[in-house]
Structure 1
Amino acid sequence: MTPDPAISAVAALDDALRQGMYAHIRRARRPVTRDEAAAAVGISRKLAAFHLDKLVDAGLLRARYEAVGGIRKVGRTPKVYEPADIDIRVTIPERRHEVLAGILVDAVLAAGEGDDARAAAVQVAGRRGAELGAAERARARPGRLGAERALTLVESLLARHGFEPGRESPTCLRLRNCPFHPLAAQAPDLVCGINHAFLSGMLTGLAATRVRAVLAPRPGECCVELSSAAAKPSDIQT
């Protein structure tokens, strides 16, 4: 299983010295040398270098060699550190509010005056899902997909996007987690419709023609079920 970068980043900050140096570098608003980071938390330069490189490995900092203040001096150019462009969010189970937010923003931008905002959001969600599915198909190159093979590919893809898929049968995939919760609880018709369109679009992008996404909500789970087009979905609601 591939480690979650966000969890790795949080784990790297589970140390008072690293927290202190990371906070100092973020406040500095400029590249910071090892000497400066060491002085900020009161440790040796050598120990600071160890912890700073751990933060780089975790993706929290970027490092490069640069003359401080643009002034070249005799000797080795110092290594400097600055914050990486990373937004750390860890939730268990995983939530993907940024995906939903992106869909809604695109829908607002795409909708003309008098257009139905809900319909625009569903359309954008379908397109986003299709892009995701097409990218996965290009990566995996699965060829022609039967229902069971398609569901196996879909299961792996959705696991990486926080849906916690579980195979109820060879031809049925339930999604144990809704990445858009608790927003789905506030506006279930809207969010479930977007989710359904997103997953349907994903199947289209994958060219998984033998699988369909249907609304089949269950308490505590995602509202969508993926199953063979020939199978009878469980408890379908529209």
Structure 2
Amino acid sequence: MYVFVRRAGRPVTRDEAAAGVGISRKLAAFHLDKLVDAGLLRAHYEHPGGLRKVGRQPKLYEPSGVTVQVSIPERRHDFLADLLMEAVQTGTRDEDGRQAAVRVARERGHGLGTAEREATRPGRLGAERGLTICEHMLERYGFEPARLAPTRLRLRNCPFHPLAARSPDLVCAMNHAFLGGYLDGLRVTGLRADLDPRPGECCVALSPADTRAEAADESP
């Protein structure tokens, strides 16, 4: 139903939608209104073509312009592409492509951390409180953070997989720089981003700055 409305190239009536997909008008109305409720379509009353006619104006449906993408586990290829595009646009003669990508990832993370600090004004942040703030950001970006100890966090998902598998050194370096920059911008004391790759997970973990948490601290 949604594809039919998109391909029509103009607002369509319930009768047109029903005929287009081969169902009853009542069932078409049900699905069309559900798509409106979901924000995928918008509806208004008007005669097709804007012509004035006698009688009740039919309900017309057209795409809302909302982009929908569903991925489980979450993938953020758009974010990775945005970082790489900025690296291409801002790269200098003194750095190669990898260096530019890592620099941009660190700058983006630092900017996010700085904005978070300025918005909340938490004062000096210790590792445990800082890790709690980091968890919220990591959830938004699809890293699936898991607290293994008061000051240790593993990232159960790489939102850039499977692209990361094609160039793990590059993507892991960008992840490391992004999270390290975030911690710097947030001004968290006693916490660092470590490269600690594990099969099926993100290659970065957040650990105490003075010492790594022992593997025995980790839950299954």
- Unaligned runs of at least 5 residues, structure 2: 216-220
Q: 1:127 to 1:47 in 2, by over 3 A?
A: same
Deviating more after overlay: 221-230 vs 124-133: 124-133
Residues 219-238 of structure 1 show CA distances to partners (whole Å, capped at 9, x for unaligned) of 22211111233343569xxx
How many correspondences in the alignment?
214
Opposite residue 70 of structure 1, the aligned amino acid is G
Say yes or no: does 1:143 pair with 2:119. no
Equivalent residue number for residue 78 of structure 1? 58
TM-score by length of 2: 0.83
Tell me if the contact between 1:171 and 1:231 (Cα under 8 Å) persists in the aligned partners.
no
Alpha-carbon separation, structure 1, partners of 2:76 and 2:14? 36
Q: Look up the SS of the partner of 2:18 in the other structure.
A: helix
| Sequence identity (%) | 64
- Cα deviation, 1:64-116, whole Å, max 9, x if unaligned, reads 34442132334554332222334443333222111111111111111245642
Q: How does 1:9-158 map to 2 (within 5 A)?
A: 21-112=1-92, 115-137=95-117, 141=120, 143-144=122-123, 145-158=125-138
Distance 1:88 1:78 in 2: 27
In structure 1, list runs of 5 or more residues that go unmatched: 1-20
Q: Structure 1 115/37 Cα, relative in aligned 2: closer, same or farther at 3 Å?
A: same
- TM-score computed with the length of structure 1 as normaliser: 0.77
**AA partner of residue 157 (structure 1):** M
Larger radius of gyration: 2
Please give the secondary structure, in 1, of the residue aligned with 2:205: strand
- The root-mean-square deviation of aligned C-alpha atoms, in Å, is 2.6
Distance 1:115 1:36, change over 3 A: same
Q: Distance in 2 between matches of 1:67 and 1:150?
A: 57
Q: Which residue of 1 aligns with 2:218?
A: none
What amino acid is aligned across from residue 143 of structure 1 in structure 2?
A: P
* SS of residue matched to 1:214: strand
